[in-house]
Structure 1
Amino acid sequence: MQNTGYYFYSGQDIYGCTFYSDTTYFEVYPEIIDSIKLGNLPPYCDVQSVDLQLYHPQYFDSITWNTGDTTNIVSVTSSGNYFAQMTDTNGCTAYSDTVNIQFLQSIQPMLSYNPVKDTLCKDEKLFVTLDNDSDYNTWLWNNGDTTANTVYNATVLGMLIVEINATDSNGCSVQYADTFVVTICDGIEELSHLGVEMYPNPAKDNITVKANSLITYLAIYNMEGKLVKGYSNEMFLNKTIDISFLPKGMYFVVMQINKELYSVKLIKE
């Protein structure tokens, strides 16, 4: 029966007499189906869970997911197919559509450098190679290049940031960056030979800088190459510097001595 109404049947017995059954009323309810709404759209790269829910839960008395959950919203943490069984107020059962969830792990870029060092001389070239380029469909360096091999020119004193944004075949995007110090290398000497000391390192609240020659400029840069504190109008042989305001992490202290720039890594605890 496809329609609501009264139903009976009739027939004839062996004597040719017609008979009728009793009449029964049947009500046919339309099937109510629903679809699943995703809490966030794929691809699911480096995420711990995805929320699933029905668009119209108010139409149903009960909902049971194939995970065993009976709430409208369910949080799934593993790859697989997911659907819900719903029962409406008339006792009719229906099933939602099925969604396939795949949790993916993004691939980290593997970079190699030539020369291999974290301090570059001003105007020096840094050759960079994306070694695992076969893992990606597209990539973009922060110097604008889209090839697997690129060159950075250390033309500005302070920090040089090498950054790549890459997208793999699953649609997962990843960003990776390295930071290099750019300094003047003409006639450069080790800071210890200049009588320069910076302590403690690592440090929490204060650092002390000492030198045999006047320090005519001192600045602190973060790993992104941004100036966080500068002392450009002072000259000193000995100075205690407050770093308590700095977040924990790695910094570079750049100082000028005898008209030449030098840099020292600082770890803030």
Structure 2
Amino acid sequence: MTNAFLGPYTDNIQNPGRSDCLHFHGDGLLQLGQAWSNSLNDSFFQNSVPQAPTVQPQLSFACGNNTLDVTMPSGYNQYQWSRSVNFESAIFSTQQKVTLSNGTYYARAIDSRGNVMQFSPILVRTTTPQTVTTNPSGTVGVCQNDGLTVSASNGVAFRWSTGASGQSIALNSAGNYTVTAVDNSGCLTQSAPLTTFMKASPAQPTISANSALEFCADSQVTLTSSGQNLAYRWSTGSTSAAISVNQSGSYTVQTINSEGCSSFASNAVVVKVNPLPVTPNIVPNGPTTFCSDTSVDLISSNTGAVSYKWNTGTTTRTLNVRQSGNYTVQTVDAKGCFSLSSSPLTIKVNQIPATPTTSWSKDTVFCDGDNTVLQMALANGNYPTWVAVQGGKTSQYLVQNLNVTISGTFRAFQTDNNNCNSALSSPIYVAVKPTPAKVSVDEIVRYSPYSIGVANPQTEQYIWTWNGTQLNGSTSQIKLSDSGDIQVTAKKLYSTQSYGTKFCLSPISDRKNIQLYEDGGFAVYPNPSNGAFTLDTRYPWANLKVEVYTNRGSLVYASDIATFETKKDINLTQLPEGPYLIRIRNENFTATKHVQINR
């Protein structure tokens, strides 16, 4: 016998231990598989003969009058027909061909080897084939531009009177049309005629736009179809006469008349929507809370923008801000599209305090060793600062009242709790004037018999005291009428814009005793001389006459002197050499001196 081989011996596998004494499980299955693997060796594959596959046979059918003839294929030894899937109890024929009526049937064929070929169940309806219908049916209008799609029912295959096949066809002209349908058994049925007539379609519409077809994404355009008293069908699906568009694309419209007929689609209108620039950010170059005497620059991102639009109206990338508020910016690209506004950036500007009022306790021009106190008025809770420029150096003093002893320029400001500084006050100029040096005793010298003074005077004025009493006169020389102790104080004068003339005094000198000559109160010197003589008196006599006589008593010179507060010079150089007598007199006083002219 071909294709018969001895299988493995399995009685000793998992015995005892098999489930219900028959079935392998667990390791037993592994042992069983290995046993069969060993049996399928080279001898098996070399001696086995492959069998050709059995091809599923095809049943043949034929249409009859309320019956169906069915034939099984030839080449089989036995044929069995049954009304039940259980052939043994319901076989009604063993013929190759049978005639079937209504019902469900089962068929099988058996070949010479006993192989059974089972066919699919056969459902038979032997009544008159169903009527084929069309949708629509009867008499139907066909739109000129739309055509008409007609569908058939009750069949598995269709043939139309136009020659077309398929369950549906498109009709575009008037006429009579039928369809023949084939059912599952191949039986043919023809439909009733379908009559069509033509209906007019609307004219092709045009599209108008209310603005440019290229725009920015934050805008739109309204497209309007031509035609009145019509329905509309846009390529977007909209059915209104006008649509608002904010997307790029091609747009068409069809119009539909009262007959339900559509126009041809309009020519396409192409809309181009340019995207908006990226929404910018605002970057400040400093704090966003600051004092009103400063500012901050707000800088927009999107450096590639063509322009910028701040909510203040500024169009530059950078906005300088000095006011409180919320600030936003938009960027503008080359297409003229504005971005969305940036998130607002809040700026808070704290007002600076008022400039403080300043005053001073004493004059701001004073002598070395004195002082003045600069004062400022503060708002409640504010903090004071003085800014001083002294000797080319700038210093700050955090006091409200500033004691000043050195020259300089001083300005004040106050600081509030927001750390904002007021503007600087007007400058206060403090000038500390040098005090003259003390006049030494040696610097007090005699200039004439009755006059003393300061050698090499350093100031414009001097104050003289005699035995502790201040004398009249303020020059560097003074006339004395009696001997006594002399002291002097140097007085330096200064001109100021605010205070007029100011002066500084030196310390008073030490006492110097001055003894006058006992010469009758009238002195002439030098004597002898070339004729140039100086006259001096102890007392400031007034209304004096000066007369010069020769030894013979001849008057050779005469003059008048209104007062003798200071020494007087007379010129007798025109007189010849020799001795002379000089006399001075008024109604209360007369004095004479002998003089000698030598050359």
TM range (shorter): 0.3 to 0.5
TM-score, structure 1 as length reference: 0.46
Query: More relative contact order in 1 or in 2 (CA 8 Å, sep 6+)?
Result: 1
